[in-house]
Amino acid sequence: MIAKRLVAIFNDKDESNVKSLEKCIKEIKGIKKLKYQPIVQNNEIGSKIVKMFESRRLAPTFFFVDPWGYKGLSLRLVNSVLKDWGCDCVFFFNYNRINMGISNELVQEHMEALFGEEQLALLNKKLKRKKSHERELIIVEELCQSLKSYGSRYTLPFRFKNASGTRTQHHLIFVSKHFKGYELMKEIMAKESSSQNQGVATFEYNPADIMPGQSLLFKLSMSVDNLTKMLLSAYAGKRATVRQIYEAHSIDTPFIKKNYKEALLKLEESGKIIASHHKKNSMGDNVEIIFKTNRK
């Protein structure tokens, strides 16, 4: 039972926020049923907290970081939690403040802690003379790549737009070392997306999603038709199960498992793949797929 195993720790550097949070927690119905009562701390996130995490072996932990802007958010902080088994991280990425800080020498130390010294230098070169929507794509992409190079394999961004749908407010970025964590979060984010293209989620919450022509982060406007073409190219002449294809190919794409099954059913119907026995209009994880060799 989770009530006997859950340990919840909250931290905020603002003392008034801490008191308000403590009051809200006490008012939660059934809170006393928890074996371990929530802990609320009043500390500023910095090297001291990072060193504490680095020196401890953590139990499976879901770590949520919401810095005000960028201070305290670093690759080292994320890695200090992800180093242990069963630990995942979601952090609030204040794109607007970080976009302004990237070329600001006064906050260069914070930017280097977030992107890495070499990556920050390369990022500044890439951003020269770029339009605003191009800057966003590049910045989030570079952050995700920096997280991967630091030892975290799976990253997944989710974008939030303002009420009119014209500007990005912030991103939530998920980081995990294990495909299972990535898979579960991808399913959750897909369900919370404002819109879909042929059943493929956009991975953004946009209150004004009816607006045409908006650019999508990481080209998340791809459809199942795009996926069928990608699979034919990537797996020509190869053999693999549905699950193996999904796990190997879905990383850094907007596609979830049901999208892969739909794409494979389309390819089977068109005679471009051969599938082992399966029920009509369904494609189990263990169904074996043989892709025909592309002929030029």
Q: Are residues 203 and 233 in the same domain?
A: no
Q: Are residues 77 and 168 in the same domain?
A: yes
Tell me, yes or no, whether 165 lies in a domain: yes
Query: Of 179, 208, 237, which residue constitutes the final position of a domain?
Result: 208
Tell me, yes or no, whether 39 lies in a domain: no
Q: Are residues 73 and 196 in the same domain?
A: yes
Tell me, yes or no, whether 246 lies in a domain: yes
Answer whether 67's CB lies under 8 Å from 93's CB: no
Q: Are residues 201 and 55 in the same domain?
A: yes
Query: Of 183, 208, 233, which residue constitutes the final position of a domain?
Result: 208
Tell me, yes or no, whether 256 lies in a domain: yes
Q: Are residues 103 and 203 in the same domain?
A: yes
Task: Give backbone dihedrals phi and psi of 291, rounded to 5 degrees, phi first.
Answer: -90, 135
Q: Please tell me the distance from the alpha carbon of residue 138 to that of residue 248, in angstroms, as a whole number.
A: 24
pLDDT in 10s for each residue of the chain, 296 residues: 788 999 999 988 889 999 999 999 999 999 999 999 999 999 887 788 889 889 999 999 999 988 765 677 788 888 898 999 999 999 888 888 888 889 888 888 888 888 888 889 999 999 998 888 788 888 888 888 888 887 668 888 888 877 666 777 788 899 999 999 999 998 888 888 766 666 776 666 544 333 333 333 444 457 789 899 999 999 999 999 999 999 999 988 888 999 999 999 999 999 999 999 998 888 999 999 999 887 65
Q: How many separate domains does the chain show?
A: 2
Q: Kindly report the CA angle at 74 between 71 and 79, in degrees rounded to 5? A: 150
Structural domain span for residue 242: 224-291
Q: Are residues 188 and 256 in the same domain?
A: no
Tell me, yes or no, whether 68 lies in a domain: yes
Q: Are residues 161 and 194 in the same domain?
A: yes
Structure token digits, residue 128: 């020269």
Q: Please tell me the distance from the alpha carbon of residue 25 to that of residue 23, in angstroms, as a whole number.
A: 6
Task: Give backbone dihedrals phi and psi of 67, rounded to 5 degrees, phi first.
Answer: -75, 155
Q: Are residues 174 and 272 in the same domain?
A: no
Hey, which residues does 172 pair with through a beta bridge?
Answer: 92, 158
Hey, which residues does 40 pair with through a beta bridge?
Answer: 10
Query: Of 162, 184, 208, which residue constitutes the final position of a domain?
Result: 208
CATH number at residue 248: 1.10.10
194: CB partners within 8 A, 6+ apart:
202, 204, 205, 206, 207, 209
* 240-247 long-range Cβ contacts below 8 angstroms, 24+ apart: 240/288, 240/289, 241/285, 241/286, 241/287, 241/288, 241/289, 242/283, 242/284, 242/285, 242/286, 242/287, 242/289, 243/285, 243/286, 245/289, 246/285, 247/179
> What is the model's pTM?
0.74
